[in-house]
Structure 1
Amino acid sequence: MLTTYFDEYARDYEYYKGGAWCYEDGCLYRGLISLHQSSGDDRWFDHLQRLVDGQIRPDGRLVGYQIEEFNIDNILPGRALLYLHEQTGEQSYLDAAMPLARQLRHHPLTKSQVYWHKLRYPHQIWLDGLYMALPFKVELSKSLNDKAMEEEAINQFKTALELTCDTQSGLYRHGYDESRIQLWADPDTGKSSAHWGRAIGWLSMAFVDIIENLDEGEHKDELLSRFEELASRLTELHTKDDRWLQVLDKPDLPGNYPESSATAMFSYALQKGARLGLSASFARAGRDALVSLISKELHRDESGRLKLHHICCVAGLGPFKGLYRDGSDEYYLTEAINPDDIKGVGPLMMAHAERQRAEKDQQASQPASEIVASASSI
């Protein structure tokens, strides 16, 4: 069922912003990469290459990309360029990623040396942006054999963790404003007030994707330890049916609901965290979440097409389209909910891919005698 759903989704996918380079398309690309890595099925690679090639102009420039916007979101789909370069050996993909590398060299920084979320959101760090930029930076450092770049990315990530951590809850706040100007920012700490599920989902995925690319040593050990703390807290906060809420730690908040993109992100991150060295209990929690998400939210519409439901379309902080997003618990419940939004479907692909990898690993480690016995009993 899932293979058909993902295949049809990718086959019929329309670029999120009409073809302009954007993070939403990057969410699909991450899902397709994960499926290709876990299954070896070239259909996922073919979808990826077709879609990415459609966003590279004949002169090698990325469609709609403008470096002067200094939008950290635009970095995420660059990871697909690095993967295509790795898989094909074609220099054109690495060349296409270089404007993104230049953006990061010149992107505005907070005084603590972490990227601003965007030029139009000055002095602010959002959890979303950590996922958008830093795994790409670590992967690019490997492509270019640039250890200094990797070290810089790790230090930025660690600093951002300190600035957004809420020690009382064991969670992380969506945003931090070093200027303390924004109305959503606490005047003493600079942090926003709520724990939005998907923001912490972005962070969780950043954790595991960065950790995966690090050599054994102090940095990897420290980040694994910090993610283990977050993962433990997440397993305490899931709903009775193994999902997570839009406002993560407020089950009694009127109107709060199990949100599908956050659930998929946590499912992916918990399973991958276990693969990278954490307790197998986290993998079980991640798989349980995946099973629940599929059974509760993947339904056929009137045409018979499967769709994933209860995906928050977008949420943020500060001014946007004439409104001011104040970062309160209640604010996050006002945002639109859309079926089949790629910010839910992409992470669902990734969570499913992790389950596939685990099943393959289990089969590979199963003694031959057990395989024979199992086959003979069918």
Structure 2
Amino acid sequence: MADSVIARKDAIITTPGSSDYLKVGFFQTAVLRALDYHETTESACADTQTDWEEYLVFSSEGLLPYLTNATRDTGYPLDRFATGDGLTHLYDKSQNTTIKNALRALRESANLQPRNQYGGYWFYTYPNWSYLDGTYSLLPFLVDYTQRFDPGNAAAVSGDVMHQLELLWAHCQDQGTTGSGLLVHGYDSTKKASWANPVTGGSPYVWSRALGWYFMALVDVFDIVRSHDIFPSELESYIRQRYTELAKAVLSAADKDNGCWWQVVTLPRAKGNYIETSGSGMLVYGLLKGSRLGLLSPEEEYTGVAEKCYNHMLREYVVDEGNGLLGFNGTVGVCSLNSSATYEYYVSVPVTYNSLHGIAAFTLASLEHEMRSNQVL
């Protein structure tokens, strides 16, 4: 799947728009995980690994000119931090000071990012609006940058990471489905948005991809933190607790027939609703990785649903395009709270073929599936 994206040049951006940082950065992360896995298992040929490395260099170098000014960076969504994995990999390989300066500018831009009255990061330029979406790009970047370049700041970063996760947890609890335990797309801390809950400020619906971003952020931050003892133990304990709570809710919300998750998660089979593949891929990845890291018990209850969904996506949404290329379907375009945020809105956003959001999520899910089964698909 990753080879097909690289062959089509789908993940090369020359003049990035506001959403391109996330798409390219997320795919870079998937390629990096594939490299790590296949280097460990020696299951990919040298030519394939060379192609992946060349893609990472080319795509990261193309983004560099747009990420070197911390003040300017704050004009982009929190999605910009998704480029951190690719840039860090490039720096590890080259020790190039221009790349390190770009990483430093990204990190400084977090300090300059506007916050609401509770200290929560604005996701973008919409005042006081915080989204689940930003957690996956921002929080793993913060902890990884800290352990690499700024270990003396580990306690402060840990506190901020927990604070951001907890603000979203508190304000985004699903109010529409009693006891679902799921999280809605985002919140307005001023409660002035047309869609804001008058008590929590939360938006009205659980969007599968936003839920997936938050769930992946939990398990990826946990993975980094558990490997580096510079972080206070409270951070690992906090993430373990929140992850296991959310995993139970995610499991309960899975479709009983195919194991996957609907675009609007809590309204399965409602008119216009459908199984959405980026959110489903993210949640499969989050469950399988959490199981691998020892976070889930009984493990089989969670992995059974995740594998059921994975196999459903493999059968129904992976497309053989011929000439050795694969495509991927069923991924919604960008959903924003800068909208009516109604149910009708979420199910009317067009589905995109070969979306990098969906392909990257499915690639990550595939790698976790392969690690479980010790086979290469």
Normalising by structure 2, we get a TM-score of 0.85
Please tell me the residue identity of whatever aligns with 2:291: A
Please tell me the residue identity of whatever aligns with 1:54: G
Please tell me the residue identity of whatever aligns with 1:132: S
Identify which range, 205-214 or 278-287, moves more after superposition.
278-287
**1:22 counterpart residue number:** 21
C-alpha separation in 2, matches of 1:16 and 1:6: 13
**1:273 counterpart residue number:** 290
CA 1:316–1:131 in 2, change beyond 3 Å: closer, same or farther? same
C-alpha separation in 2, matches of 1:61 and 1:72: 12
Query: How far did residue 88 of structure 1 move?
Result: 4.6
C-alpha separation in 2, matches of 1:84 and 1:263: 30
CA 1:278–1:149 in 2, change beyond 3 Å: closer, same or farther? closer
Q: 1:315 aligns with which of 335, 356, 362?
A: 335
Please tell me the residue identity of whatever aligns with 1:136: F
- Does the alignment pair 1:33 with 2:44? no
1:298-331 CA-to-partner distances (Å, cap 9, x unmatched) read 123488842111110110112xxxxxx2222222
**Contact 1:31/1:348 (8 A) holds in 2:** no
C-alpha separation in 2, matches of 1:155 and 1:86: 30
Cα RMSD (Å): 2.6
- Does the alignment pair 1:117 with 2:123? yes
C-alpha separation in 1, matches of 2:242 and 2:267: 23
**1:369 counterpart residue number:** none
**Contact 1:16/1:24 (8 A) holds in 2:** no
CA 1:103–1:285 in 2, change beyond 3 Å: closer, same or farther? same
Query: How far did residue 15 of structure 1 move?
Result: 4.4
C-alpha separation in 2, matches of 1:352 and 1:292: 12
Query: Share of identical aligned residues, percent?
Result: 24
**1:142 counterpart residue number:** 147
**Contact 2:328/2:354 (8 A) holds in 1:** yes
**1:236 counterpart residue number:** 252
**Contact 1:34/1:349 (8 A) holds in 2:** no
- Does the alignment pair 1:296 with 2:316? yes
CA 1:176–1:228 in 2, change beyond 3 Å: closer, same or farther? same
**Contact 2:14/2:62 (8 A) holds in 1:** no
CA 1:356–1:85 in 2, change beyond 3 Å: closer, same or farther? farther
**2:349 counterpart residue number:** 335
Normalising by structure 1, we get a TM-score of 0.85
1:20-45 CA-to-partner distances (Å, cap 9, x unmatched) read 26211111111111111211153433
Query: How far did residue 89 of structure 1 move?
Result: 4.2
C-alpha separation in 2, matches of 1:7 and 1:303: 12
Q: 1:7 aligns with which of 3, 6, 19?
A: 3
Query: How far did residue 61 of structure 1 move?
Result: 5.5
C-alpha separation in 2, matches of 1:83 and 1:312: 29
Identify which range, 170-179 or 155-164, moves more after superposition.
155-164
Query: How far did residue 74 of structure 1 move?
Result: 1.3
CA 1:70–1:18 in 2, change beyond 3 Å: closer, same or farther? closer
CA 1:150–1:83 in 2, change beyond 3 Å: closer, same or farther? farther
1:28-85 CA-to-partner distances (Å, cap 9, x unmatched) read 111111111211153433322222123234xx9559x932515212121122212333
**Contact 1:260/1:311 (8 A) holds in 2:** yes
DSSP 3-state at the match of 1:330: helix
- Does the alignment pair 1:259 with 2:276? yes
C-alpha separation in 1, matches of 2:104 and 2:54: 23
- Does the alignment pair 1:126 with 2:131? yes
**1:344 counterpart residue number:** 358
Please tell me the residue identity of whatever aligns with 1:194: Y
Alignment of 1:155-194 (within 5 A): 155-166=163-174, 168-194=179-205
**2:101 counterpart residue number:** 95
Please tell me the residue identity of whatever aligns with 1:66: R
**1:370 counterpart residue number:** none
C-alpha separation in 2, matches of 1:234 and 1:88: 41
1:110-142 CA-to-partner distances (Å, cap 9, x unmatched) read 1111110112x1101100011221111111111
User: What count of residue pairs does the alignment treat as equivalent?
Assistant: 349
Query: How far did residue 336 of structure 1 move?
Result: 0.7
1:184-224 CA-to-partner distances (Å, cap 9, x unmatched) read 11122211101111110111111111111113733212211
CA 1:165–1:88 in 2, change beyond 3 Å: closer, same or farther? farther
C-alpha separation in 2, matches of 1:170 and 1:9: 36
Identify which range, 263-272 or 217-226, moves more after superposition.
217-226
Q: 1:74 aligns with which of 71, 75, 80?
A: 80
- Does the alignment pair 1:151 with 2:150? no
**Contact 1:312/1:337 (8 A) holds in 2:** yes
- Does the alignment pair 1:56 with 2:64? yes
Query: How far did residue 270 of structure 1 move?
Result: 0.6
DSSP 3-state at the match of 1:165: coil
Q: Is the radius of gyration larger for structure 1 or structure 2?
A: 1
Query: How far did residue 178 of structure 1 move?
Result: 0.7
CA 1:18–1:160 in 2, change beyond 3 Å: closer, same or farther? same
**2:238 counterpart residue number:** 222
